Chain A
Amino acid sequence: MAVRKDNKGILFTLPALGLLGFSILLPFLAAALMTLTNQRMLTPNPTEFVGLENYSRLLSVTVREVPREIDQQGEPVVDADGNVVYQRLQPILRSDPELRAYQTLTEFDVGPRRYAILAKDLVFWRALGNTFFFVLLVVPIQIGTALGLALLVNQDFRGRTAFRTFFFAPVVTSMVVASIVWSFLYNENTGLINQLLGAIAGSGVVAINWLGSEALALPSIAIMSAWQGAGFQMLIILAGLQSVDQQLYEAARLDGASRWQQFRHVTLPGLRNTLIFVVIATTIAAFGLFIQVDVMTQGGPNDATATLIYHAIRSGFREQDVAYGASVAVIYFLLVLAVALAQRRLTRSADER
């Protein structure tokens, strides 16, 4: 490429770099510094350097064995079904000064023994797990939907512009509005979805607690997010489809390839770069899940929808613990960075192949 060397080129980048420096780098450095202090939003106490205390509270994890319940004879208690009965761990932790700050994250069995994973900031680990879970849910749902839609509206038929517009309509609906409308749709008692399901099933009352149950809340948010976002990916994939060489299809047809074979051997390879881009963009956006949670569930029930960003904003702004909120944010950034780097590496190795 005939690109000239000219150091004046830097001048063109300065306004944007200055703005990015101000709105991203500066606050980012500020956040990184803050994490080493105990800064609060409003306090008469001076801000102090506390080293890695915030991170240690955030990241401390340890494993302990859960003791069995012992009866008066000193025998392990077994319940009616023959299962071993374990003691409730929390009172034990609270009586041990070393473990007092810990809570049980989860328990697991190894042979006859039961172990508990303990963490100081339970919500952080839940939020971390939820964030990954959400990404794993929403990326395939959203991109799968988008791909399907794109294939449907890529054909030549009357009204395809109208259908594209229909599928894109949720994208121009703001996430705040979408979340408000969907809170109504998802409502257990009066929500449209349960009512429609009831009408379809004909049995009257369907009472699925979409946002109120730990198991369903995050998938519900994922479905709603995919609904809102799929139209955008559809357009990008559509663009990719249109750049696939039509001659390849003709050649495939001449070879007697079925529609599926055409899709598998012409469309998908032709879309490779588009799909990689779409996956990166969707993944990064999904990691930042916040608005839906803030409007629809506030992190509940039982932290089932707490996400990293939600945890950062709740600690840093609503609870005024700026330093701690910033620590969550920094960890979050490192994770997104790792994912982005991993994806870049994948793209590169695929390129070389």
Chain B
Amino acid sequence: MIRCSLLLFGIGLLSVTAAADPVEIDLWRHEAEVVELTASLEAVDRFNAEQDQWRFSVETLPQVTYTSAVTAAALAGQLPCVLDLDQPVVPNFAWSGHLRALDTILSTEQLDALSEGAKGTYKGAVYSVGQFEVVLVLFARKSELQRYGIRIATMESPYTADEFREALRLIKRESPEKFPLDLNAKDQGEWLPYGFSPWIQSAGGDLIDRNSYRRADGYINGDAAQAAARWYQSLFEERLAERKTFVDAQALIQGRAIFHYTGSWETNRYTQAFGDDLVIMPPPDFGNGPKAGAGSWHWGISSTCKHPDAAQAFLEFLLRPEEIAATSSARWQIPTTEAGATLTENYREGGKWRKLYEYSRSYAVKRPATPGYPKISAAFEKAMMDIRFGKNVEDALNVAADAIEFDVERNRGYGFSN
């Protein structure tokens, strides 16, 4: 239907492919850092080498516009057979009919072994699976914390929000030229919901009512959410964090910041930079314990895929413990199965980064599994940007709540009934 060969010179000329030739299967993924990308390409090579029925050929697309590009390709009916997707947008593609449900494709054992964040669901069905997980953490250097006399936070006693802000104020007083906390202020888009909706959840709010998926009023703009957002605003007002940066994740290395609040994906780089001086701590606690968004990049099968058997074999291959371990080792990403973790040096019981694995198991909150998530994300992003630049917190969150509910109505509830 998308790419039908023309029977131009009669049936006789239609190439009858020899049985030995592997069938070419398209696969898309986003362009990540070189290390991650190489590891992913190597996994595809291993799969291609392991069997001779199919040959997956990889196309990489820029990350900044990846979801938009996939949306446009879906519109043009040009989705590849297998593609990776950011977990929170999976329900949107599932709802609009561009993904295959995986419940019948993958075995129950395989699905059950996966952590919750490793499954992209819509209305109870699984549409995507992930090999790795990320978690939010606070990076800092031991020596710097000692210099300012700030204690190291642990899982047993994470920083409370107030304590953390006091620590930042202390640094600011002693080194006024510094912005003590790097919050990835260059990043737009999904970073804001990913990084800061857990603060709302830790304070007791949420982005939307997770029972109906139709109400946001009272959740995203409730008292708890407002309190966390006010705390966030104060960081910028008191110049504890920079409002806008040119390049992210450099301030800690260059000594312009003391803390970096970001995803565990920076672990490798910071370990290389600081070695044993690096400390990794849980995110601050706003009352209900630290929270961190679960669900990273997932794999899915498009509904237009002409070789679902190949896609199935590929996904099963990716979920093998040794593959999950291999992906994890390449970038020190957190594995999504215990069996996978056991095979890694860093995440097995007693491993160097076992605590990241535990953070991800204890703190994980999935982003709402609704096709309306892109709107929720955009509305929350806008609210957080506005709040960062000084807008009244309640007004900003009210606007977000109304925008989300309006969008749900405009899309007839996104498949959820009242």
Contact = CB atoms under 8 A, between A and B. Distances in A.
Contacts of A302: 385-386, 389-391
Contacts of B74: 42
B39 to A, nearest CB: 29
Query: Which residue, B92, B179, B246, B386, has most C-beta atoms of chain A within 10 A?
Result: B246
A320 B398 contact: no
Interface stretch (A188-196, A244-252, A277-285, A328-336): A188-196
B406 A301 contact: no
B75 A90 contact: no
B242 A189 contact: yes
Nearest to B415: A44
Interface in B54-76: 68, 71-72, 74-75
A45 B177 contact: no
A41 B398 CA distance: 27
Contact of B243 (A40, A88, A188): A188
Contact of A301 (B96, B177, B242, B385): B385
Contacts of A184: 246
Contacts of A298: 188, 385
A343 interface: no
B31 interface: no
B256 A41 contact: no
Contact of A319 (B177, B375, B391, B395): B375
Contact of A101 (B179, B389, B406): B406
Given A42-B75, A187-B246, A214-B389, A90 B96 contact: no
Interface string A159-200: 000000000000000000000000110011111000000000
Contacts of B308: none
Given A42-B93, A320-B71, A90 B388 contact: no
B411 interface: yes
Given A90-B394, A214-B389, A320 B374 contact: yes
B253 interface: no
Nearest to B188: A298
Nearest to A185: B246
A42 B71 CA distance: 7
B105 interface: no
Contact of A183 (B96, B98, B246, B399): B246
A236 B92 CA distance: 50
B255 interface: no
Interface in A254-296: none
Interface in B237-257: 242-246, 256
A41 B378 contact: no
Contacts of B386: 300-303
A42 B246 contact: no
Contacts of A101: 402, 406
Nearest to B386: A302
B238 to A, nearest CB: 14
B324 to A, nearest CB: 31
Interface in B330-387: 374-375, 378, 385-386
Interface string B238-281: 00001111100000000010000000000000000000000000
A63 interface: no
A253 interface: no
Contact of A300 (B389, B394, B402, B411): B389
Contacts of A321: 410
B260 to A, nearest CB: 15
A219 interface: no
A129 interface: no
Nearest to A123: B382
Given A40-B411, A44-B96, A100-B402, A301 B246 contact: no
Contact of B242 (A40, A103, A188): A188
B95 interface: yes
Interface stretch (A22-30, A74-82, A149-157, A205-213): A205-213
Given A41-B75, A101-B406, A189 B395 contact: no
A113 interface: no
Nearest to A184: B246
Query: Which residue, B378, B389, B391, B412, has most C-beta atoms of chain A within 10 A?
Result: B389
Contact of B246 (A191, A213, A319, A320): A191
Interface string A99-114: 0110100000000000
A318 interface: yes
Contacts of B98: 42
A151 to B, nearest CB: 36
B71 A209 contact: no
A190 B93 contact: no
Interface in A38-53: 38, 40-45
B179 A189 contact: yes
A209 B244 contact: yes
A100 B403 CA distance: 11
Nearest to B410: A38
A43 B92 CA distance: 9
A160 to B, nearest CB: 36
A190 B398 CA distance: 35
B149 interface: no
The 8 closest A-B pairs by CB, nearest first: A301-B389, A42-B96, A212-B244, A187-B246, A212-B243, A302-B389, A298-B188, A300-B385
Given A94-B402, A302-B386, 11 more contacts: A43-B95, A44-B97, A45-B412, A94-B398, A187-B244, A214-B389, A301-B244, A301-B385, A301-B389, A302-B390, A314-B378
